[in-house]
Every structure is written in structure tokens, then in C-alpha cells.
Structure 1
Amino acid sequence: MAITTVVPPARNTLFTLVRGAMTGGVIGASLTALVVGTVIRSVPLFVTGLGVPAVYALLAFLAGVPRRAREAAIAPRTALAMTESVEAVRGEATSDVAVRFVSTVAPDQAPAYRVAFTQHVHLADLPDYRAGGVVVVQYPPDRPWQVKIVKRPTPEWEERAAGARIDSAPGPILTSENPEGNAVGFVRLLALLLAAAGVVLLFRTDLFDEDTSAEPPSSTRPPVSASTSSSTTVVTSASGTVTLGPHQSFLDQGELRKAVTALTQGTDARMGLTVVVQDRMLSVVYAHTGSQTPAFDLDSLPYERFPALVQEARSSLGDGSPQTWELTVERLTGSLAIRVGITGARGTAWLEADGDANVVRRTPAH
């Protein structure tokens, strides 16, 4: 005769689905928080990844306290059971083995029924549980499928088991092994993935933020509006310095003249001794009033032609390697001189121009 296994109905399908979703969400969020916290070096996020599952486990334990208290208050029933089959389902590293029993339970004042359950048995005790043998079992009155073999019954029940004979009961088999349905597994997996994606999305800026220390060439740099630009200006009686913020360059159109105007506006410092320009830094040394050192008018320099000079000096290297540049304006020899130095993997190339930004000398890299 074919044997049909009957699974006790779930207490609450909606509750089971919600619990599965919460468990999957906690697992996905905590694991992702640990990984993301490690990558972005965020201690609070890493600690959150450790703390969330611990808090969830504590809450789940506290929520189950009333149910466990009610179940513990109900005294279990004791009955005799005839073992129909014994099967070791999995071995353990210890001396205990998980054994699946199929038995006929014969309560004193209720019809006999068949049940399947799993219980750990010591290896030395396995010969005591053979097919056809009678043992003493206990089970909750409201959950007759949760059967457990009593390993050391009272002398009275041990005597009854020794002289009892129980026939196999007809009908289906109850089982305490209540596998979760496919819906619960799907909901748990979906919640896990959504929680993991939510954590990654929340910290996507920190995860995928590119290093802005390596500025792209000015020809490919996106334009920065005045509302988002930033710069730092420091002015003393002898010098002035302007430092641009990220994504800005003095090669951008009009940026250099605007910075020089900001340094000289509202002051008498119109004459300069030297001007040094780098990609994001401008330094000006002023000429003191009455000084005999050759100076030049800061407003008269051809700032609009400086980017072309830098680009021409760059082409003299032409090896595609990362390059740094510096433009210097001075009048130490009597005539205004503009010098551009480009440093790359092949060395330093120089370009010299006159006061009108006309190239007069080129020195290739060496």
C-alpha cells in the first residue's frame, strides 16, 4: 500500500511569508553592509552590519517567548510506539547520529496513528532502536506529530514496553518535518537581493566615486559654471596667490586674467616682478614702490595666448605620458620673457616667447 505523508498545516501563511521576507532582508542588508563598509572604510556601516542580525535574532527570540511559555505549560503525553523503520539521515562529527523514525504511536485513550520524526541517537544506543521494537514516546497533546523517544522511561512504562505488542496503524503518516514551501523560499531570496541592492544604491557615491586628484586635460575637462567653481586667494604686501578648486584650470578661457584682476583689484599693486602659473595655482610677486628691479605691468600681459603656448610646449614632448607644466613671466634681463616648461616621462621641454607671446626659442626634452 502506498504511504502518504501528511504535513501539519502552517499556523499562518501570511506570518510565515513576512518572517521569511524579514529574514532575507536582514541577511542581505547585513552582509552587504559588512562588504561595503570594508570597501569604503566606514566603521559605523561595518558595525551596523554586525549589529543588525544580532538585534533581529534577539527580537525574534523575545517574540517567541510567550509561545514557548504556553507550550511548556502543557504537560506532554506519554505513550507506547512501535518502530516501523529506522534510517540514519546524516552523520555527525560527534558520536550522535540523526535518525529518522517511522512509528505507530498507540495512546491509551485515543486512536493509534503513524508518525515520522527525526531524533539524534548515540551510536552505542542504535541497536536498541530496531524495526518492530516498542519504545516509550512523548508528544504535546495539541501537536501529536512532535514525537520524541524517551531514552530513560520510568520503571512502570519500561515494563509496559517490554510486554507490549502494537500493530501498524492504517492511514497516512504525520510528520514533524515541516518543509517550507517554494513561496517562502522565493520571498526570502527576493528580500535578500532587494536589501543588498538597497545598501549598494545608498552608498553608491562612496563606492564608485572616482579619484579627482588626477585632473583630465583642459581640452576634455567639462566646463564649470561660476556658481559651482571655488578658489582660494591669499594676498600680502609682497605677493598674491590664487588656488583653484577641483575641475578648474588656469588654461580655461578667461580664468587667468580674472584671477590676476582679483589680486590687483582695490590695490596699487599693478607692477609685478614674476608671475608663475601652474594648472591650478597662480603666484604673483609684486614690485615694491621705488624698487630698481625691472618690473612689468600685470594688466598688460597676453593672458589669452598663454594656453596656446602651453599646448605648443606639450606637443614638443608628444609621447602621451602624464605631463606637468609651469609658465613663468619675468623681466630680469631687461626684456619681458615668457617661459613654459613641460615635464614628462622623457624629461623636460622648454619654450620661450617674447612679451607678445611670440615663440623665440624651443628646447626639446632630453
Structure 2
Amino acid sequence: MTTTTGAPPGRNTPVALARGFLTGGVIGGSLAAMVVGVVVEKVPLLVGGLGVPIAYGLLLLLADRPRQAREAAVVPRTALATVESLTAAETKLTDVPVRFDLTVVPDEGPAFRVEFTQDVNVVDLPDHRPGDVLVVRYPPDRPWLVRIVKRPTPEWEERAAGARLDAVPDAARVSEPPEVRAVGFLGLLGLLLGAAAVVLLFRADLFERKATAQPPPSATPTVSSTWSSTVVSAGSGTVVLGAGQSFLDDGALRLAVDSLTRQGDSHPVTGLTVTDRTLSVVFSSADTKAREFDPLELPYERLPALVEEARNTLGARAPQDWSIVVHRLTGAVTIVVSATGAEGSAVLEADGQGRVRRRTSSH
């Protein structure tokens, strides 16, 4: 009988705990810095809020290189597996996320059950049915990372065609070790402390602006009164949703952007940042040096799917935070979608039409 594997070495180390706390602090501080930077109209603070998490993510990727090299050196094991059950997600994408429950029967060692999600092209879905025998590959030290081999060798394809595999009991199921609760708790604590630190540092500017600064009606884009909180000026706009609302809700993000840009009229911006309940835009001005773009041309119908992909398919399991940053640092508009959980982070970059150009993950 195959038993569930134990926790990988080093998962509950002071380094892992410190990294969880620091990651939360960077996320909380960066989000707060972007919001405060827009409110108090301090461009360096806004740029810092955008740049710090990117630099921190690159450092994490570099720090994880040795571990990734060790994992890459492990020779994967190929085996036959039978499909016990599968569930395909409803999506309009060509590649459909499918949740598989397989019985894997390696040539060496006992058989085991495993659940995982893998994208399958809609054309190939009829070839994945309960009872079918497939060829899979997985690291022997991490069998829960099993993947279906799309184009097996002729030898394995012949073996799969003539094989009949028996199911194993659910007690033989393998799964990834559970998250260390201390890491998640410290990550949340770091997020709260990071956000609080930024707000406290700029509390004088925030309160002074609230007490004295009232934007002229002629220069202030109209904002719908349905939002829980809004701060708008000639140079920037911020929308904060109330409890129970999210910018992933159907049409919520487009409606907020339309409201901030004079009810749908063309109003170029130089930056747009979205979290679950916060939208911030920086409007273009005559003296700005940043490249501008029209926010009304963004593919809002594609953004929820991009967030879902970053949260579920790039390794950021149990994601706690996500964000969307749109900018035009070079000649083309770039959409950066980030998702961060207790075990790591996932980042994907898409063009102005929502087509994904690059995916990275760290965990």
C-alpha cells in the first residue's frame, strides 16, 4: 500500500517562515504604496509600489534556482495509469483544465491513486475517458506531480493499448504535503504590517489631503455613487469596493474604468492597477513622460480568465492575493497578472489583447 508522502525537507525552517513573512510584507506594502501614491499624487511612491514586488519576485526566482536544479536532476519515472474519473471545467479556451483521478501502476513499486489538474485540448478530450489507459510521467520523489504524456513513445503506446489495470483503494492515494500553517499565518501578518507601515508613514499627507483638498468639479471625472469609496483628481482616480464585491464580478471593472474616465469618453492613462477590491488609474497629463494608452481598449472580458489561470495553473496553490498591473513601458501595452499564496507566486504577462506571452512561477 502506498502512503501519503511526508513534508519535503526544509519546509518548516526559519528561512521558510522568514520568507513567508517577508513576502506578505512586500505584497501589503506595495499595494498600499500604489494606493497611497495615487491618493497623494506622489509618482515615486507609485513607481516604488510597482517596482519593489517585481524586483522581489526576481530575487525569489534567483534564490530558487539551486532547488530547481536539484529537482530537474531527478530522472522522471514513466508508468501506465487508468482514468478513474475526470471533470472538465467549463471554458471557452482551446485548452480545457481537466481534473483527473488516476490509478498509476509503475513497473517498480506499488500502485497508487492521485488527483491533479492538466490542460487538455478540446480535440483530445474524447481520448480521455474513465477506464482508458494512459501513459504518465512523474518525479519518483514527488509522485503527486504526475503529468499525462501527450505523445508517448511507440513502445509505451503499444503497452497502453493492450493493458488492463485494476483500481487501487483510496487509502493508497498520494498527495502534496499540507501547507505549513505558520508560513501562511506569518505571510498574512506581514501583509497587514507592510500595509499599515506605509499608511502610517504617509498619514500626514493622507489626512491633510482629506481635510483640505477638494478637486474642482470641472477637472474631476464623474464617479458612480455605487462604489463604497472613491478618490478622484485631475491626475488620478481610485475606486475601492465594499465588502462582498470584487472586480472579477461580471462587468464590474469595465464599469469602474468607464466611470473614472468621464463615462466612457476617451481619456488616456499611463498606469492601471487592480486588486480584488481596489482600482487605481493614473491619468495622462501634458507634462508626463510615461507612455499613455486608452483604458477603454483593454480586454476586460479576458482579465478574470487570466487571474484564474495565474491562481490555479501556475503553482500558486491556495492563493491569498492577486493583482493586475497594466502599463506601456515600451511600445506595446503589457498586462501583468500576479497571484501569491502561502507556497509561492505566479506571474503571467499578456499583450493588449489578453494573449499570454510569458508565464513564471516561484514556490
TM (norm. structure 1) is: 0.52
State the alpha-carbon separation in 2 of the partners of residues 212 and 65 from structure 1.
51
Q: Which runs of 5+ in 2 are unaligned?
A: 214-363
* Pair 1:181–1:133, CA change in 2 (3 A): same
**Residue 169 of structure 1: aligned partner:** 168
**Residue 101 of structure 2: aligned partner:** 102
**Residue 147 of structure 1: aligned partner:** 146
1:69 aligns with 2:61: no
1:28-39 equivalence runs, <5 A? 28-39=28-39
**Residue 189 of structure 1: aligned partner:** 188
Letter in 1 for 2:51: G
1:195-344 equivalence runs, <5 A? 195-209=194-208
SS for the counterpart of 1:111 is coil
1:181-218 C-alpha deviation (Å, 9 max, x unpaired): 554443322221111110111122222237899xxxxx
State the alpha-carbon separation in 1 of the partners of residues 109 and 19 from structure 2.
35
Q: Which runs of 5+ in 1 are unaligned?
A: 214-366
* CA RMSD, Structure 1 to Structure 2 (Å): 2.5
State the alpha-carbon separation in 2 of the partners of residues 186 and 23 from structure 1.
12
1:35-114 equivalence runs, <5 A? 35-88=35-88, 90-114=89-113
SS for the counterpart of 1:52 is helix
* Pair 1:86–1:212, CA change in 2 (3 A): closer
Letter in 2 for 1:38: V
Identity percentage of aligned residues: 60
Moved more, 180-189 or 40-49: 180-189
1:77-111 C-alpha deviation (Å, 9 max, x unpaired): 111111111122x3344111111111111111211
Letter in 2 for 1:140: P
**Residue 9 of structure 1: aligned partner:** 7
Moved more, 183-192 or 47-56: 183-192
Shift of 1:16: 4.2
**Residue 158 of structure 2: aligned partner:** 159
Contact 2:12/2:180 (<8 A) preserved: no
1:216-246 C-alpha deviation (Å, 9 max, x unpaired): xxxxxxxxxxxxxxxxxxxxxxxxxxxxxxx
Shift of 1:112: 1.2
Greater relative CO (CA pairs within 8 A, separation 6+): 2
State the alpha-carbon separation in 1 of the partners of residues 212 and 131 from structure 2.
78
Letter in 2 for 1:75: V
State the alpha-carbon separation in 1 of the partners of residues 178 and 160 from structure 2.
32
SS for the counterpart of 2:144 is coil
Shift of 1:33: 0.8
SS for the counterpart of 1:168 is coil
Shift of 1:155: 0.5
* Pair 1:123–1:134, CA change in 2 (3 A): same
Shift of 1:7: 6.6
Contact 2:102/2:114 (<8 A) preserved: yes
Q: How many residues align?
A: 208
**Residue 137 of structure 1: aligned partner:** 136
1:244-290 C-alpha deviation (Å, 9 max, x unpaired): xxxxxxxxxxxxxxxxxxxxxxxxxxxxxxxxxxxxxxxxxxxxxxx
Runs of 4+ in 1 over 6 A off after TM superposition: 210-213
State the alpha-carbon separation in 1 of the partners of residues 19 and 90 from structure 2.
30
Shift of 1:149: 0.4
Q: Which has the larger radius of gyration?
A: 1
State the alpha-carbon separation in 2 of the partners of residues 6 and 110 from structure 1.
14
**Residue 23 of structure 1: aligned partner:** 23
SS for the counterpart of 2:145 is coil
State the alpha-carbon separation in 1 of the partners of residues 17 and 95 from structure 2.
33
State the alpha-carbon separation in 2 of the partners of residues 212 and 206 from structure 1.
10
State the alpha-carbon separation in 1 of the partners of residues 181 and 5 from structure 2.
15
Contact 1:76/1:140 (<8 A) preserved: yes
Contact 1:8/1:174 (<8 A) preserved: no
State the alpha-carbon separation in 2 of the partners of residues 183 and 116 from structure 1.
26
Letter in 2 for 1:196: A
State the alpha-carbon separation in 1 of the partners of residues 183 and 92 from structure 2.
31
State the alpha-carbon separation in 2 of the partners of residues 160 and 184 from structure 1.
44
Shift of 1:175: 2.5
Contact 1:40/1:206 (<8 A) preserved: yes
State the alpha-carbon separation in 1 of the partners of residues 23 and 5 from structure 2.
23
Letter in 1 for 2:25: G
SS for the counterpart of 1:30 is helix
Shift of 1:152: 0.6
State the alpha-carbon separation in 2 of the partners of residues 184 and 5 from structure 1.
25
